[in-house]
Amino acid sequence: MPCCRLLPGSGPEEVLEEIRSVTGVEIDEYEVLQHDPGAAQPDLGLFDELAATLKELDPDARVVPMVLPAVTDGRFFSELGIQTYGFLPMPLPADLPFMQLVHAEDERIPVDAVEFGAEAIARVLRRF
């Protein structure tokens, strides 16, 4: 059964249009089994605060917003108008195959990455 993850603000209709434009195939019949829309547009209102916290802990940090091709329970909060952030402050060694380890049998990150992340999140929370 084909499935896809949608960009913020898009729905099943946009996916069908994209399939039509790329393949030239008209899809006359389809069934949406599940669609949990997230926020229509990402809210970066706290981005500067999160970035500043990371820069305090690591002046060389490069802070970049991104849309992650994953799903969290944040989509349910979005329905209630509550903004969520995927703030994952963890400096990882360049040779750590992080994407292969996520949810894998031997998923792991270094202890110092956990400690860094805990401190960054604690600092953000103390500001509120």
Fold of 38-126: DNA polymerase; domain 1 (1.10.150)
Predicted confidence (pLDDT) at residue 70 exceeds the cutoff of 70: no
Per-residue model confidence (pLDDT) at position 69:
64
Domain boundaries, the chain: 1-35, 38-126
- The string of DSSP letters for the chain reads ----PPPTT--HHHHHHHHHHHH----------------SS---TTHHHHHHHHHHH-TT--------SS--THHHHHHTT------------TT--HHHHTTSTT----HHHHHHHHHHHHHHHHT-
Predicted confidence (pLDDT) at residue 40 exceeds the cutoff of 80: no
